[in-house]
Amino acid sequence: MKICIPVSKNEGLLSIPYGHFGSAPLFIVVDSDTKEVTPIKNGDLHHEHGKCHPLQALQNTPVDVVLVGGIGQGAIRKLNAMGIKVYQTTTGNVGDNMTLFLSGQLNELDSTHTCSHDGCGHH
């Protein structure tokens, strides 16, 4: 399974999840089987609310799940339409959150979710 997590810098499984999906400096995609980490730069850092296009950065990388601290309704709808489920991260690093996700302990976010996390004050 390919798990995408927005981060501010790539430190592999020790990376800290970024507070908002759309304005994250980069994403890492982790293969849950091999733990291989693939960094992907987000070219849409300073998006206008409602016009977030970070999915363009991910278009060439298969992703099954997104783990995120904060995300808007529109991005959730777009990800869900692509068959990608979105889950809320907790404190800790990417490795911690992957463990929680794989053991069914993270909450899935649906399109009624409102982003109110740090870094999401512009919503």
Q: Nearest-5° angle of CA 119, CA 91, CA 99?
A: 125
Q: Residue 118: is its pLDDT beyond 80?
A: no
The number of helices, as runs of H, and strands, as runs of E, in the chain is 3, 6
pLDDT of residue 29: 95
Name which residue leads in pLDDT, 78 or 100.
100
Residues 52 and 30: their CA atoms lie apart, in Å, by 23
Helix (H) or strand (E) holding 77: helix 73-81
β-strand partners of 13: 11
Contact present, 15 and 93 (Cβ < 8 Å): yes
pLDDT of residue 117: 46
Domains in the chain with CATH codes: 2-83+95-106 (3.30.420.130)
pLDDT tens digit sequence for 84-113? 999 999 999 999 999 999 999 999 998 776
pLDDT of residue 57: 64
β-strand partners of 29: 4, 38
**Residues 6 or more apart from 43 whose CB is under 8 A from it?**
56, 57
* pLDDT, average across residues 25-38: 94
Residue identified by tokens 């970070």 is 54
Answering whether pTM is above 0.85, one says no
pLDDT-derived band of residue 67, with 50, 70 and 90 as boundaries?
Answer: very high
